[in-house]
Amino acid sequence: MSSSSPPSHDFKGMLEIMLRQKPELSPEQIRDLIDEKKRKVGAGYLTDQGALFLVAADLGVSFDSLPKAQSGLKDIYVGAKEVTVVGRIMNVYPVHTFTKRESNEQAATRTLVVYDKDVRVKVKLWDRHVAIPDEMGLQVGDVIKIIKGYVRAGLDGKPVINLGSYSAIETVRDDQAIPSIESLASTVDSVSGPQDSAVITGTISANPRLSDFVNAKGGASKSLQLQVSNDAGTRTLRVVIWNIDESRLPKVFKVGAKLRMIGVRVKQGNPQYGNGDFEVHGDEGTILQFSDSQEDIEVMPLRIVSVGEETGRGSFLCLAADRAGRALVLTVDNSLASSDQLNAGAMIECVPSRIFGSSIVLSKDDSYVRVTDDDVSFPKLSKFEKKIKDIQVSQDPCIIEAIVLQAPETADVNTKTGETVPVTSTLLGDDTGEIRLVGWRNQSAGVNKLNVGDRVRLAGATAGVGREGSAELTLRPYSSVTRLS
């Protein structure tokens, strides 16, 4: 393992070399020489292999042509030098650049995660070595030999193999002794405890979504959040992939697709954010593989149901319906269209940048949208219209026309995350009944503008469980509230 460690040779290989270099000797004669050497040195002091080293020295036999025994990943230790090991790639991280404090120079680093039948280990590439994975076309599952690395402690104290000036990486023939990625995969059902560098498979069971957050270094980043379930849908795990690179995600991300996540961490979940079951967390090195083919994005005709609020990031939200009447949430870049152009009931054609379940992104870089003539084969807005008595708890958006029966009331509410947000509610009524309307955060202001006696058309609200277990309507960022004359 280290250059200072005593050589470890294979006895059979040593014997073969000795017979090649000393053809006048038979295996039996060498055996006699070994036994004699052990008797002279003293019983119990030498193994057969140790005695063979001494016999070889007497006869002038060199073992330089005999390769040293390979170290396994479990054998590496902090401080080891000239380490040569073989492992299968689990993760390839993107290049990270930084400025050295002592010299103010730019430097680059990159991390691989490799494993064998025993353990998983990080491999740190520096400067000129960071291009090796791209130049060699290294992929997850490839078996590589890391040559003359040195070992330092990582932030968690575990050994990390580093590549120095004289280090190298070679691809080698697949080693059947190292488990394949497929054989490491656990299903949602088999997740039973915390685990690092796991491979988890499941079915995407809820709309994936991207969220902005500030990472540990104070930079803006994104996280991908989704849920994966077992085949029966009886167990669901929350998944968060931090520092996600959107360019690595498929353009079509369908609910119901089979997903394999390679190189994730399983930890106990927080009941505030999920069901309290285990959670799966990944990062920028996590590999997402889809067993179902991800279809290409084509032109989509849609009918606008409601036009909602601005996102604050140069886009606004809409609710639309496809030909099957399925509700879709659109994020539309302001450079493609204005909220005035896409009024309720309008027909559009668009090419999305990305489809995340029932969420569609129309960005300025690779999308377009245009208003088209009405298509009579498309569902009319009347498909979503309901009377209050027919409203049931559902995530399906609805449209109602009603009269405001009470003055809006606003209160500050503490959420599970410790955030204080405004919540405004009022009571609506039609000729079939009454129902409470609630607006949270930004939607609070929309409810607060209503006056008793206003006749309103509410589009894109969803019904949840409210006071005393009865249904109540909640405004969404894509909802609209219109006063009727």
Reduced to 3 states, what is the DSSP secondary structure of residue 2?
coil
| Per-residue confidence in pLDDT tens, the chain, 485 aa | 333 333 445 677 778 888 888 888 888 999 998 888 888 876 566 778 878 888 888 888 876 554 444 568 888 888 888 889 999 999 999 998 888 777 778 889 999 999 999 899 999 999 889 999 999 999 999 999 999 899 998 888 889 999 988 889 999 888 888 999 999 999 999 999 999 899 999 999 887 888 888 777 777 888 999 999 999 989 999 999 999 887 778 888 888 889 999 999 999 987 777 677 899 999 999 999 887 655 567 889 999 999 998 888 899 999 999 998 889 999 999 999 888 888 899 999 999 988 888 889 998 888 889 999 998 888 888 888 999 999 998 888 999 999 999 999 999 888 776 778 899 999 999 999 999 999 999 899 999 999 999 999 999 999 999 877 888 999 999 999 999 87
Q: Does this model's pTM top 0.75?
A: no
- Residue pair 477/439 in contact (Cβ under 8 Å)? The answer is no
- 394-404 and 300-310 beta bridge pairing: unpaired
Q: Which domains does the chain have, with CATH numbers?
A: 11-59 (no CATH), 73-171 (2.40.50.140), 185-290 (2.40.50.140), 300-372 (2.40.50.140), 385-483 (2.40.50.140)
Q: How many other CB atoms sit within 10 Å of the CB of residue 319? A: 27
15 bridge partner residues = none
Q: How many other CB atoms sit within 10 Å of the CB of residue 288? A: 19
- Residue pair 475/438 in contact (Cβ under 8 Å)? The answer is yes
What pLDDT score does 175 carry? 80
Q: State how far the alpha carbon of 294 is from the alpha carbons of 176, 191, 248, 285, in Å.
A: 31, 26, 13, 21
Torsion angle, CA of 471/476/479/481, rounded to 10 degrees? 70
Reduced to 3 states, what is the DSSP secondary structure of residue 28?
helix
Give the relative orientation of helices 11-21 and 48-59 as an angle to the nearest 10 degrees: 20
